[in-house]
Amino acid sequence: DTEVTQTPKHLVMGMTNKKSLKCEQHMGHRAMYWYKQKAKKPPELMFVYSYEKLSINESVPSRFSPECPNSSLLNLHLHALQPEDSALYLCASSQAWTSGYETQYFGPGTRLLVL
Amino acid sequence: AQSVTQPDIHITVSEGASLELRCNYSYGATPYLFWYVQSPGQGLQLLLKYFSGDTLVQGIKGFEAEFKRSQSSFNLRKPSVHWSDAAEYFCAVGANNLFFGTGTRLTVIP
């Protein structure tokens, strides 16, 4: 089973709202990732968690706040977003984080629209 | 620095025809190489990967890719395309992190 699940599938929020994206995997993976993908562009890495600790933050604005409560769950808390933050947010996981030398499995994504 | 180039933004093929999607990478060491497919509005599905060993790699859905070190290429091939193969295809290199090419959109015509 190589399934990564993400909820919600779609999210519309105002610039003053607070919302959260959720990602879950039950493959025993110890690394989890958040990517942002704008239309007709490749995914861009935002965060990497390894063994529930934040290992990489690719200079993401503080209005995005990741959280890894346990090894199976990854959240992305959103606050005071801008319309340009509208995108598909992808979660991925891998057995471990080995600086690119790992196979990442992606979820279906959450399509976010900020009004 | 690492980079991935997919020179074809959009390719159209007839159903049943063969397919080759190009990917060139730049990296100082031997990279890990991946091909992912993304249907509209969906996440990415791993088609195949190359880490080492046999340079011809078999993947899911009848796809294969060949690693050519001398050409810094990792082209994706399929002998006979099905209408359901229409999607966006991303080549990626694993080097420090996972870096994606800009993608190739495949259209399949009947």
Task: Tell me the C-alpha distance between B47 and A93, whole Å.
Answer: 16
Beta bridge mates, A57: A47
> Beta-carbon neighbour count of residue A77 at 10 Å?
13
B interface toward A at CB cutoff 8 Å?
A: 31-32, 34, 36, 41-46, 49, 51, 90, 93-103
In this complex, do B94 and A48 lie within 8 Å of one another by their Cβ atoms?
no
| Interface residue A109 vs chain B (CB under 8 A) | yes
Q: Mutate which of B98, B105, B106 to disrupt the A interface (most A C-beta within 10 Å)?
A: B98
In this complex, do B41 and A111 lie within 8 Å of one another by their Cβ atoms?
yes
Judge whether A110 and A22 are in contact, CB under 8 Å: no
Task: Tell me the C-alpha distance between B62 and B79, whole Å.
Answer: 8
Q: What is the average per-residue pLDDT within B36-59? A: 92
> Beta-carbon neighbour count of residue A33 at 10 Å?
29
Per-residue pLDDT for chain A (115 aa), expressed as one digit of tens each?
569 999 999 999 999 999 999 999 999 999 999 999 999 899 999 999 999 999 888 889 999 999 999 999 999 999 999 999 999 999 999 998 887 778 899 999 999 999 9
Q: Mutate which of A95, A98, A103 to disrupt the B interface (most B C-beta within 10 Å)?
A: A103
User: Minimum mean pLDDT among A12-16, B15-19, B77-81: which range?
Assistant: A12-16
Task: Tell me the C-alpha distance between B99 and A5, whole Å.
Answer: 22
Task: Tell me the C-alpha distance between B2 and A99, whole Å.
Answer: 13
Instruction: Tokens for A103, please give them.
Output: 């196979």
Task: Tell me the C-alpha distance between B53 and A39, whole Å.
Answer: 36
How far is residue B14 from each of residues A14, A21, A99, B19, B85, measured CA to CA in Å? 44, 39, 39, 9, 11
Q: How far is A92 from chain B (nearest CA, A)?
A: 9
Judge whether B37 and B89 are in contact, CB under 8 Å: yes
- 3-class SS of residue A22: strand
- Using CB atoms, which residue from A4, A56, A109 is nearest to B42? A109
- Using CB atoms, which residue from B42, B95, B96 is nearest to A108? B42
| Interface residue A104 vs chain B (CB under 8 A) | yes
Residue A101's pLDDT is what? 75
- 3-class SS of residue A2: coil
Q: How confident is the model at residue B2 (pLDDT cuts 50, 70, 90)?
A: confident
